[in-house]
Amino acid sequence: MFTDHTLESAPAASRRFMQGTADHLGYLPAATRRWAASPHLLEGFGKLNVLFETTTLDPLAREVVILTVATRNACHLCVAMHTAKLTKLGAAEELISALRERRPLADERLDAVRVLTLRILDTAGAVDDTALQAFFAHGYTRQHALEIVLGIGTYTMSTLANALVQAPVDEQLEPYAWYRHAA
C-alpha cells in the first residue's frame, strides 16, 4: 500500500531527512522509505526525536520510555531498533528482557519511569498525585515527568506510523527482532 521510496523517488522535501537517516544508521530503513510519502511526518518525528534525546532524562531512562510505548503499541520495528540501542548502551540483558516482556524492572529507579509512562498512557495524562509522588520519590522531577510525555508523543507517532505503513523489521535489526524472542 505504501511505496518504499528511494532518494530519487521520494518527494523532494523528504530527501534531506532520508539522507540524514541513511548517513546516521548506515542504511535507509524501510519505515523511513515508507514515511517519505509525508515530508511533514519525517520532519516532525525528526525534530521531536532530537528534542527527546536532549532531555534531562538519562539515556537508559529515555529507552525505558521508548520500549514501554513500543511494546504497548506492539511495534516490532521500534522494539528491535531500541533493543539494539540498549545493547549498544551496554544495558543488562535482564533490563532489556523485562522491558520486552512488559515486566517490572529490577532497577527501581528505571521502573519508576516505566510505571509512570504506563500510567500516563492509561489515564491520558490524568495521573493522580500518589503516582506522581512515587515517581518523585526516586529522585525524578516535574521536568522529568513532562519529558516522559514528550517521549510518549514522539514514539506514539512513530509506532502508529510504522503500523500504518506496515514497516518491516530491517535485515540489520533482525537479530533484535521481538518476535524472535517473544514467548
Give residue 174's pLDDT band: very low, low, confident or very high (50, 70, 90).
Answer: confident
pTM of the model: 0.93
With left for phi above 0 and alpha for psi between -120 and 50, is residue 14 left, alpha or beta? alpha
Residue 64 · residue 120 · CB < 8 Å: no
Residue 130 · residue 149 · CB < 8 Å: no
pLDDT of residue 177: 87
Homologous superfamily of 56-163: AhpD-like (1.20.1290.10)
Report the residue count for the chain.
183
Per-residue model confidence as pLDDT tens digits over 107-133? 999 999 999 999 999 999 999 999 999
Q: What is the arithmetic mean of pLDDT over 69-82?
A: 95
CB under 8 A, 24+ apart: contacts of 134-139? 137/112, 138/108, 138/109, 138/112, 139/109
Residue 155 · residue 65 · CB < 8 Å: yes
Q: Where are the domains of the chain?
A: 56-163
13 pLDDT above the threshold of 60: yes
Q: Give residue 71's identity as a one-letter amino acid code.
A: T
Residue 117 · residue 65 · CB < 8 Å: yes
Per-residue model confidence as pLDDT tens digits over 151-169? 999 999 999 999 999 999 9
